[in-house]
Amino acid sequence: MSQETRTVKVALLGAGTVGAEVARILAEDEAILTSRAGARLALDSVVVRNTQADRGPYIPRDLITADAEAAVDRADLVIELMGGIDPARGLIERALNRSVPVVTGNKALLATHGDSLFALAAANSTLLSYEAAVAGAIPILRPLAESLAGDTVTKVMGIVNGSTNYILDKMDREGADLEDVMQEASELGYLEADPSADVEGYDAAAKAALLASLSFGGTFTLDQVHTEGITQVTAADVTAARESGQVVKLLAIVEKAEAGVLMRVHPALISREHPLAAVHGAFNAVFVQAENAGELMFYGQGAGGAPTASAVMGDVVMAARALVTGAAPAAGSTGAEVAALPVSASLTRYALGIDVVDAPGVLARISTVFAEHGVSIESMQQYGRSGLDEDSNVRLRIITHEGRQSALDATVAAVNHLDVVEAITSVMRVEGN
């Protein structure tokens, strides 16, 4: 390495909340970034659609351009924060084809076209880094890919969507209804105008696909993840959970089974003693089970300008350092063929709320249905009549032992057909031991 500090020209694609923070950090922390990267990180161009808007003191006017291709062609390192599939995909491909390392926070893109993009990076001996795409500021990429390189991850459960965690946490603390809390979250800016990516679970599903790829090799896509959002969660579900020492969380769960990988996003009950239960507000956390390490958890902010920019900048410094030292890029996906399995193959536990006729023999008939399906009951509680429409009904809360989801679903269907059953009022999975 020569004495003279090399300059790495950086193209920033996108100057939204995160991009603006990246530009600020590049300017404010220039000296420390230079010492850590071993190169001066010089912002060379900022690609935006509206080139006329004032972007503040950290994005000089003369760097602003709408010509993304020219910006990419001039860069030594590309930061892609435009989001969406196109034109982000083509621009990343353009950079990688020039062996220029790319740092991206684009989970939707990686969870649909990650396979070809990672292959392209490997073919060009360069890096495609994406820490910010998995869980915002939470360092998870290097812990999974490097710190646990000598261990075997068996299961990952993440609270990876801050908006829905904020909503569920608020419902838990205040006993409020979903609609009311969603309304409030919108007003506070915790929910987008179209909240479906959050509340339907799609954002969490994209992250689940990335977590599965990181944990188990292979490259998985969003559409392979079984996805249920929080729209069906009621104040009654949350209250029942609380009374049982549990809490409702939207979990992204990926786990290794013999035949492949199971990926699912759904609301689940976890014990209040579980570390994930202590994740409040808009915070995120990723809980990891590994054969030797046992239980690990990584906690932090999953969104927001500065926190996400922190993850982006970690990738940028490491990519610049690799440029300077000429190090071979870290191995990406193993390229192993790992199958995505249907959610019916999941092993899980169910918590059921069932309204039944108050008559002798009802419990025996219900228990028999469970036994016939090979599902064993861990606990059964009977509640009084209060709050029910029918005077002659009682509500049962049944929690099962672990079983295959297909068997649990078949049990629920069969119970629903019993004449003594008025309604199945809630079905929720129970996770974490």
Contact footprint for a copy of itself (CB under 8 A) = 21, 25, 29, 32-33, 35-38, 131, 137-139, 141-143, 146-152, 273, 275, 277-278, 280, 283, 290-301, 304, 306-307, 309-318, 321, 325-328, 331, 334
- Rounded to 10 degrees, the C-alpha dihedral 363/365/366/372 comes to 140
Task: Compute the least distance from the CB of residue 289 to a copy of itself, in Å.
Answer: 10
CB 11 within 8 A of CB 75: yes
Give the HSE-up count for residue 217: Cα atoms under 13 Å, Cβ half-sphere: 11
Task: Compute the least distance from the CB of residue 288 to a copy of itself, in Å.
Answer: 8
Task: Compute the least distance from the CB of residue 310 to a copy of itself, in Å.
Answer: 4
Q: Report the alpha-carbon distance of residue 131 to residue 348 in Å, rounded.
A: 29
Among residues 256, 193, 204, 199, which one has the least CA distance to residue 226? Answer: 204
Bridging pattern class, strands 283-290 and 340-341:
unpaired
Nearer to a copy of itself, 22 or 59 (CB): 22
Nearer to a copy of itself, 152 or 392 (CB): 152
Task: Compute the least distance from the CB of residue 293 to a copy of itself, in Å.
Answer: 4
Nearer to a copy of itself, 90 or 245 (CB): 245
Nearer to a copy of itself, 87 or 217 (CB): 217
Nearer to a copy of itself, 37 or 222 (CB): 37
Q: Report the alpha-carbon distance of residue 110 to residue 161 in Å, rounded.
A: 17
Check 107, 170, 207, 256 and give the catalytic one.
207
What sections of 98-149 are H helices per DSSP? 107-123, 131-135, 141-142
What sections of 188-303 are H helices per DSSP? 196-199, 202-216, 235-243
Q: Report the alpha-carbon distance of residue 278 to residue 281 in Å, rounded.
A: 10
Q: Report the alpha-carbon distance of residue 401 to residue 379 in Å, rounded.
A: 9
Among residues 43, 110, 250, which one has the least CA distance to residue 167? Answer: 250
Question: Is 107 known to be catalytic?
Answer: no
Catalytic positions are 207
